[in-house]
Homo-oligomer: A and B are copies of this chain.
Amino acid sequence: MSINRLICKLEQFAPLSNEQRKKLGGLVRRVADFGPGEEIIRQGDRPDDVHLVLEGWAARYKILPEGERHIMAYLIPGDMCDVLVRLLPQMDHSIGALSRCKVGFIPSKEIFSLIEEDRTLARALLWADLVGEAILREWLVTRVRRAEKRLAHLFCEMLLRSKAVGLTDDDGFELPLTQEELGDTMGLSTVHINRTMQELRGKNLIASKGKRMIINDLDGLKKLADFDGAYLHQLADQGSRNAAAAARGRSD
């Protein structure tokens, strides 16, 4: 069951009991599929539900007045869209599917009562939110650096995030993005993304086969990017907890 990606992630923060895992599973009232490009939440909406990505990739983005899309965050399996959305009068951005993906809907009220009655789960959910915010800060900061470093940094991050929810094998993971989407994310043109990726491939740091990204030399990539995973907080710690949770994921 794909709820395990979330459980897997939250257990990087604190171990959960079986009841707690069940509670999390019980939150999802409805599941829907979205095709690439389909909007899940639109800017200006005031959603009553919190969304949980179960499979595939989605993104937060804004459309600028001149029409370009700017991606501000990737949402991968186990990521919740906005635990506390209900506190804001309206969405200041949209969320849309990048690849085909499966999304769970959780009534906001459920989340709030869960938060009030289970302190550990509350903290785990808020922690995941804080990690999201930390990632945002890191993205802001990397913006000053040159395209090559920025891209390298992004690939390091997405490898670790994928690993944290059991979505890697060796050093490969799904990166279901076009170069245009990468451009919209980094604020660079497609052409520049293309040339920059060629540099990274040329240095034998990465290799990509279709939508599959292979990190040939993680240490080299980290060094090039000045990557320090501290901003991912416990998410980056690849302990045994993680392996255990991933195993549980497979067995369900």
Which residues on A are within 8 Å of B, measured CB to CB? Answer: 60, 62, 64-65, 68, 70, 72, 84, 87-90, 92-93, 123, 126-127, 130, 133-134, 136-141, 143-145, 187, 226, 230-231, 233-234
Contacts and interface: CB of A to CB of B under 8 A. Distances in A.
Q: By CB atoms of chain B within 10 A, which of A65, A68, A92, A126 has the most?
A: A92
B64 A226 contact: yes
Nearest to A141: B70
Given A70-B141, A137-B93, A84 B126 contact: yes
A90 B230 contact: yes
A137 B231 CA distance: 17
A134 B92 contact: yes
Contact of A137 (B72, B130, B226): B72
A144 B187 contact: yes
Contacts of A226: 64-65
Q: What is the oligomeric copy number? A: 2
Nearest to A186: B144
Closest 7 CB pairs of A and B: A144-B187, A92-B231, A87-B127, A70-B141, A65-B226, A140-B140, A143-B143
Contacts of A64: 141, 144-145, 226
Contacts of A145: 64
Given A60-B137, A140-B139, A84 B230 contact: no
A126 B231 contact: no
Nearest to A231: B92
Nearest to A139: B140
A139 to B, nearest CB: 6
A50 to B, nearest CB: 13
Contacts of A123: 87
Nearest to A82: B130
B88 A233 contact: yes
A72 B140 contact: yes
A233 B72 CA distance: 18
Contact of A136 (B89, B137, B230): B137
B134 A136 contact: no
Contacts of A87: 123, 126-127, 130
A143 B187 contact: yes
A89 B233 contact: yes
